[in-house]
Structure 1
Amino acid sequence: MSLSIEPKLVARDAVTRRLGYPDDTIVGFISGNFNIIHAGHLRLFKFASEVSDCVIIGLERDDNDGVTVPQALRAEALDGLEMIDMVVDIGEDLEQFLRLLNPDIIIKGKEFEDQINLEGKIAEDTGARLMFASGEYVFSATDLVNREFSANGLSLASEAYEYIQRHNLDPQALKEKLFRIADLKTLVIGDLIVDQYVFCDPIGMSQEDPTLVVTPNRRQKFVGGAGIVAAHVGGLGCKVAYSGLIGDDEAGSYAKEQLAQFGVAAELIVDETRPTTMKTRYRASGKTLLRVNELRQHDVSGVALERLKSATLDRLADFEMVIFSDFSYGCLPHDLVRDLISVGRDNNICMTADSQSSSQMGDVLKFGKMHLLTPTEREARLATQNFSDGIAYLIGELRERSHAENLVITMGADGMLINGPREGTNFVDSLPALNPNPVDVAGAGDSVLATMSSALAVDCSIWEAAFLGTLAASVQVSRAGNLPITRDDLFNMLDGLRNR
């Protein structure tokens, strides 16, 4: 890897000679500010490395519009990526630089395809190809993360430490803010799910057909969906109530009993036309083999929905925070959401939401003007119908259309991308996932939603809330099944950081 931050322009032959490449090397070029390296950039760099032999990154100078991080620090961050061969200062004239470098391929994000691009004219003149990388490209940024540091089982990549320093996060101060969550009056509304795990021993492959054969040895149930969001909030110390729907069945009775044990004041409306939604996962050797969903897709009965509406609207003003946990199973139709949001705004209630679309179709845009939205990348793309632009453009588009105060796109093993206010401007940052060896990823998003919502409600910044949410997710994925996150879980993590 070679680093060249110099005011002079770098000619193509000088670059390839310095890197030890032959004359017929295919040179790819990407330029930009690159204040914060996030998953969208990594996808772009990966694309460049696959269509060219040598990837050159051109960095804008510190006086360029939008630059917030000194060039030397930006170059240092890029220097750590194996996909990049050289980082260069493009100087004051991009056109002059490109004509001297004469790359074979110029790569830009898909969001720039319909815009006027200076690079397009240069490509025509020099015979280079101008390529736009699609945001659909599948790439796990965690392949590049160095996870050699750990504290109390928490993996801390260098990007996580940089995030902590960038936002001046103090573990002790975060602990003190978590104490303020106690007695926060919170209402969670949404679809209840009962998660059943069937732990199996593998036997082998059937001789009659290619079917995996297992034998079940243990079954265990957990409250999931909006129910576990409420339990997480209660575990953090809030006074939490929950409104949702169940069926007239054993699963509904189980959920009611468990929520009571978790200290959740649950008002569960029985819909006799639908069973309690249950998801059964068959697991063997630490892996999920199959998930079976038992549910009804038809609309919630009018009687049950009216009872739910009355139960929530009548007491909404008593709460300081409302969390919508929508799994698109019928508990939160648009009309009810509209009425709840209207009452929430009238009473200046902190409102947050997530609308999941893992195995069904949801619409996060029905939750307008939230303090926080936490969709996955897929959910964000479904909401905006944008399946091509880079994720950094996507998060800005969704925040603008949803009018959310803060927006987080969760990306599983790639962590999260955060868009929120900082020092009077819009700022985008990324935070890697902190658990490199998850046992069960189910429920990670629920823990993020619950923890970030609670933190924001007691005046944590979005950057503090995101870090606490990431800590909660790292705890959640370290075990099979949904169990409530507790304040002590987060305290232990923060103590580990203080002791490093």
Structure 2
Amino acid sequence: MSSFITPIIQINEACKYNNCILGYGHFNSIHTGHIRYLKRAKDINNILLVAVLKDPQFQGVIFTQEERAESIAQLGIANAIVLLPDNNLEKAVNIINPRELILGKEYENSNINNINTTVKNLKAKNKAIYFHAGEINYANTELLTISEDNLKKEREKEFLKALKRQNISCENLIETSKRIKNTKLIVIGDSIVDQYASCEALGMSAEAPVIVVKELEQKNFVGGAAIVASHITRLGSECEFISVIGSDEPGKWIHKELKKNSVKPNLFIDKNRPTTFKKRYIVENQKLFRVSRLEDHMIDKETTKKILDYVYKASLNANGIVISDFVYGIITGELLKGITKFANESGIKLYGDLQCSSQIGDISRMEDFTLICPNEREARISIQNKDIGLEELCRILISKTKCENLIMKLGANGFIVYSHQKGESPRVQAFPALSVNPVDVSGAGDTLLSIMAAGLSSGSKIMDVAALACCGSAIAVDTMGNNPIEIEKIIDKAIKIFNK
């Protein structure tokens, strides 16, 4: 065990770190939340000792104590990792005598006697106790300290480690990709036309502090829930798409493009609203700003009933229903409630995603789903808590929504899969973002949702499907605009990583 950069020691060797800050936890399947916590501890005291709890006393820990300690050691953040023989924090603190103790925010109001007694004793000795989840950032700064090539190699190593932990082989991924083609899905959500206007920067206006650009070329892309449907058919699955459009040219264009992408479109026309149209102005690969033409009022009850009636009929032969909500008024409370009730009674899998970067939405409306895919900001808005750790955040959201599985999207830090399917122990696995310098991140979440829905509906294991989604999302962000991706490209990327 001493071969790691950070030594892994027994409790009787830990007393030499008595000026340390002591961290404590299970650290099951290392992810961004753990790294934030450890970095925060290191900021407080440069000598960091991490105590890793003994092998599982509850179902959620799927790796041995030594495996979990090795994962922390490989991060190179702590000065040493100590293996606790009996999970007794009070005993460990008495032996180590740390200068500070740092615990996750979830322990701040803990009823665990062992922890409460330890905190009380340390306070009596005027020792500092911190309850912290680490600094929460929604961006990544790694390219400031490491080259793009080296960062890419590190991410690919992380990907292969994740697959090894989940016993996923290249053959597993190939078989999963084949099964995807045997599914039929229904996608419900917003229709959006995304237009990209390529411009030449001319400089600053002499009249006012305004950037002046010359528009050179335009290109339209299918967007919103419509691109989710297009991704699904490009993967090889069948897909029907249900949405509302305006009586206008963008609506007609969406309808035509969906047919080109082999999607069966069922678009209800609302003459009181335009088809949502977003125009992005870009200079080379840099986006300057976006202009949106939309109406975000809720669709009326008559349209809601028509959609529900169609969903009931179309779902008879479907393997799953995907709800992709961009919060522009298509997914009303009545529609969501009706679809959820019908799907659960019929045994149809439900997949949900919410995108509210410039709108107000709540992912927790999606209850009793097979899978929900929020990003961290959306999750924190939903439970109104900006301080708790990532793991606790996910646990609360899973409990609140009663979902079977959750994927927490972390942008440049990849995503974490939380799986709690019936008859199985809870499982957690982090996957890295394989693209280290993306061109356009707008399609990553749509690609992930599409692959996860198609894969889980085919009966494949969630971690196998998540590995494909990790590769697919990396492909999606390496080109400008949201383009449907063939399953063959995704499996080719996975094979290349395996063969390096």
Common topology (TM > 0.5)? yes
CA contact (8 A) 1:175 1:494 kept: no
What are the superposed Cα offsets for residues 435-472 of structure 1, whole Å, 9 maximum, x if unpaired?
11111000210110010111001111111111111111
Tell me how far apart the structure 2 counterparts of residues 50 and 149 of structure 1 sit (CA, whole Å): 25
Tell me how far apart the structure 2 counterparts of residues 30 and 270 of structure 1 sit (CA, whole Å): 58
Which residue of the partner structure matches residue 387 of structure 2? 388
User: Which segment drifts farther, 297-306 or 333-342?
Assistant: 297-306
Tell me how far apart the structure 1 counterparts of residues 342 and 62 of structure 2 sit (CA, whole Å): 39
- The verdict on how the C-alpha distance between 1:70 and 1:182 changes in structure 2, with shifts beyond 3 A counting, is closer
1:164 lines up with 2:159 in the alignment: no
Which residue of the partner structure matches residue 253 of structure 1? 252
Query: Shift of the alpha carbon at 1:282?
Result: 1.4
Which residue of the partner structure matches residue 73 of structure 2? 79
- The verdict on how the C-alpha distance between 1:201 and 1:82 changes in structure 2, with shifts beyond 3 A counting, is farther
Task: Tell me the secondary structure at the aligned position of residue 315 of structure 1.
Answer: helix
Tell me how far apart the structure 2 counterparts of residues 154 and 83 of structure 1 sit (CA, whole Å): 19
CA contact (8 A) 1:146 1:157 kept: no
Which residue of the partner structure matches residue 282 of structure 1? 281
Equivalent position to 2:26, from 15, 33, 45? 33
- Amino acid corresponding to residue 445 of structure 1 in structure 2: G
Within-5 A mapping of 1:45-444: 45-62=38-55, 67-92=61-86, 93-116=88-111, 117-134=116-133, 137-138=136-137, 143=142, 156-421=155-420, 424-444=424-444
- The verdict on how the C-alpha distance between 1:165 and 1:196 changes in structure 2, with shifts beyond 3 A counting, is same
RMSD (Å) for aligned C-alpha atoms: 2.5
- The verdict on how the C-alpha distance between 1:364 and 1:2 changes in structure 2, with shifts beyond 3 A counting, is closer
Query: Shift of the alpha carbon at 1:359?
Result: 1.3
1:446 lines up with 2:446 in the alignment: yes
Tell me the TM-score normalized by structure 1.
0.91
- The verdict on how the C-alpha distance between 1:82 and 1:449 changes in structure 2, with shifts beyond 3 A counting, is same
Which residue of the partner structure matches residue 480 of structure 1? 480
Tell me how far apart the structure 2 counterparts of residues 147 and 172 of structure 1 sit (CA, whole Å): 29
Query: Shift of the alpha carbon at 1:96?
Result: 3.5
Tell me how far apart the structure 2 counterparts of residues 113 and 180 of structure 1 sit (CA, whole Å): 46
Task: Tell me the secondary structure at the aligned position of residue 7 of structure 2.
Answer: strand
- The verdict on how the C-alpha distance between 1:227 and 1:38 changes in structure 2, with shifts beyond 3 A counting, is same
Tell me how far apart the structure 1 counterparts of residues 184 and 6 of structure 2 sit (CA, whole Å): 55
Tell me how far apart the structure 1 counterparts of residues 198 and 328 of structure 2 sit (CA, whole Å): 26
Task: Tell me the secondary structure at the aligned position of residue 428 of structure 1.
Answer: strand
Which residue of the partner structure matches residue 3 of structure 1? 7
CA contact (8 A) 2:39 2:134 kept: no
Structure 2: gaps of 5 or more residues = none
Tell me how far apart the structure 1 counterparts of residues 419 and 80 of structure 2 sit (CA, whole Å): 32
Tell me how far apart the structure 2 counterparts of residues 315 and 297 of structure 1 sit (CA, whole Å): 26
Query: Shift of the alpha carbon at 1:345?
Result: 2.4
CA contact (8 A) 1:171 1:497 kept: no
Task: Tell me the secondary structure at the aligned position of residue 313 of structure 1.
Answer: helix
Tell me how far apart the structure 1 counterparts of residues 313 and 232 of structure 2 sit (CA, whole Å): 22
Tell me how far apart the structure 1 counterparts of residues 207 and 122 of structure 2 sit (CA, whole Å): 60
User: Which segment drifts farther, 392-401 or 269-278?
Assistant: 392-401
Query: Shift of the alpha carbon at 1:378?
Result: 1.5
How many residue pairs get matched? 487
Tell me how far apart the structure 2 counterparts of residues 133 and 318 of structure 1 sit (CA, whole Å): 49
Query: Shift of the alpha carbon at 1:161?
Result: 1.2
Tell me how far apart the structure 1 counterparts of residues 80 and 146 of structure 2 sit (CA, whole Å): 19
Task: Tell me the secondary structure at the aligned position of residue 445 of structure 2.
Answer: helix
Query: Shift of the alpha carbon at 1:278?
Result: 1.4
User: Which segment drifts farther, 318-327 or 362-371?
Assistant: 362-371
Query: Greater helix percent: which structure?
Result: 2
Query: Shift of the alpha carbon at 1:149?
Result: 7.3
Structure 1: gaps of 5 or more residues = 17-24
CA contact (8 A) 2:304 2:334 kept: no
Instruction: Give the percent of matched residue pairs that are identical in Structure 1 and Structure 2.
Output: 31
What are the superposed Cα offsets for residues 243-284 of structure 1, whole Å, 9 maximum, x if unpaired?
101111111111111111101110111111111111211111
User: Which segment drifts farther, 452-461 or 203-212?
Assistant: 203-212
- The verdict on how the C-alpha distance between 1:388 and 1:220 changes in structure 2, with shifts beyond 3 A counting, is same
